[in-house]
Amino acid sequence: MGPINTSVPERASRTYRELLGWPVTTGHRYRPRSGCTCGEPGCSTPGAHPRREVAVLTGDEVALGGALIAATRYFDALVMPKETGLATLAALGEAVVVPCVVDETRAVLLVRAATGQHALENGLLPTVELRTGPTGWIALPPSHRTRWDTPPWHDRTGHPVLLPHGQEIRSHLLEALGHGRHAGAMSDVCGPVLGGFPEYCVYCERLVERTEETLLMLGFSASGARPSLYAHPECPKPRQLAPKRARRA
């Protein structure tokens, strides 16, 4: 199976329907000179939100430039600031694959249907919106300004990803929001935490401030899956033990 391409609306629509089993509808269109077809001045999601009249697409009749909208019937969606979403993915690493759609300001993490509330602290986090059930929705790529940071299929095989239970990402999401371990002592130890989530020394595992002096390795990758590493300047580096010599018989 070749690479899955969601840059073409017709192909993307077919992929969502046939590979993932997600019915999709056509949403509003984005017009470069006129903005969103909803006509709302200052629309916050131009070309990436539903129309009032919803009709599930059964073929490739996608309107030119129209958004692809999926109801949260077969998954739950956790909508949050982009920085928080990418920090959560970075904390998860390769342990759990969480499909994630991003636009310029937001990240949408997808978990198993009816489990999204288990990712939230006491069922509620102010900066995270849970969309669940047939009345919720998300805009799928190639809707205006959206793209997959982590697609819901495996790149090598093209097989669908098994969506994680919301509980599996709970601790990592709370960590990204600054509610994880040592959260109560963050301001006392290292002052304001940049990016909304704590950083820990790779040597002593205590909180460390992100500065040029404490930076050990600069991270890379679009999702932050290879994060930057920090350490206290006063922390000794682990001693490298010399290899043991083989004993003579």
If asked whether residues 84 and 158 sit together in one domain, one would say: yes
Domain boundary residue, one of 143, 174, 205? 174
Asked whether residue 133 falls in the same domain as residue 168, the answer is yes
Q: Look at residues 156, 174, 192 and tell me which one is the last residue of a structural domain.
A: 174
The DSSP call for residue 200 is B
Cis preceding-peptide flag for 142 (omega within 30 of 0) = yes
Q: What is the DSSP letter of 6?
A: -
| Residue 223, pLDDT above cutoff 50 | no
Instruction: Map tokens 């949260």 to a residue.
Output: 72
* Co-location of 220 and 121 in the same domain: no
* Residue-wise pLDDT tens digits, 227-243: 567 788 888 766 544 44
Domain membership of residue 246 (yes or no) is: no
Which residues is 39 bridged to in the sheet?
Answer: none
| Residues 107 and 193 occupy one common structural domain | no
Which of 48-62, 200-214, 235-249 has the weakest average pLDDT?
235-249
Residues 64 and 170 in one domain: yes
Position 187 pLDDT exceeds 60? no
| 212 and 229 share one domain | yes
Asked whether residue 161 is domain-assigned, the answer is yes
Q: What is the per-residue pLDDT across 145-170, written as a single tens digit (0 to 9) for each? A: 999 999 999 988 999 999 999 999 99
Domain count, the chain: 2
In a domain, 24, yes or no: yes
pLDDT tens track for 1-27 = 568 989 988 899 999 999 999 999 889
Question: Does 170 fall in a domain?
Answer: yes
Question: Does a structural domain hold residue 245?
Answer: no
Measured CA to CA, the distance from residue 107 to residue 130 in angstroms comes to: 12
Q: What is the pLDDT of residues 93-130, one digit of tens each?
A: 888 999 999 999 999 999 999 999 999 977 678 899 99
pLDDT of residue 181: 42
Same structural domain for residues 208 and 145?
A: no
Strands 24-31 and 147-150: unpaired
Together in a domain, 213 and 162: no
Residues 47 and 88 in one domain: yes
Check residues 198 and 160 and name the one with the higher pLDDT.
160
Looking at the fold, whether 162 and 185 belong to one and the same domain comes out as: no
Q: Tell me, what's the pLDDT at 238? A: 60
Is position 4 within any domain? no
Domain boundary among 147, 174, 201: 174
Residues 28 and 138 grouped into a single domain? yes
222 pLDDT band, cuts 50/70/90, is very low
**Assessment of whether the complete model's pTM goes beyond 0.75:** no
Between CA 54 and CA 133 the distance in angstroms is: 15
Domain that holds residue 108: 9-174
Percent residues over pLDDT 70 in the chain: 74
Report which of residues 186 and 93 the model is more confident about: 93
Residue at 14 is within a domain: yes
Residue 200 has pLDDT above 80, yes or no: no
Residues 130 and 212 in one domain: no
pLDDT of residue 133: 92
Q: Is residue 249 situated within a structural domain?
A: no
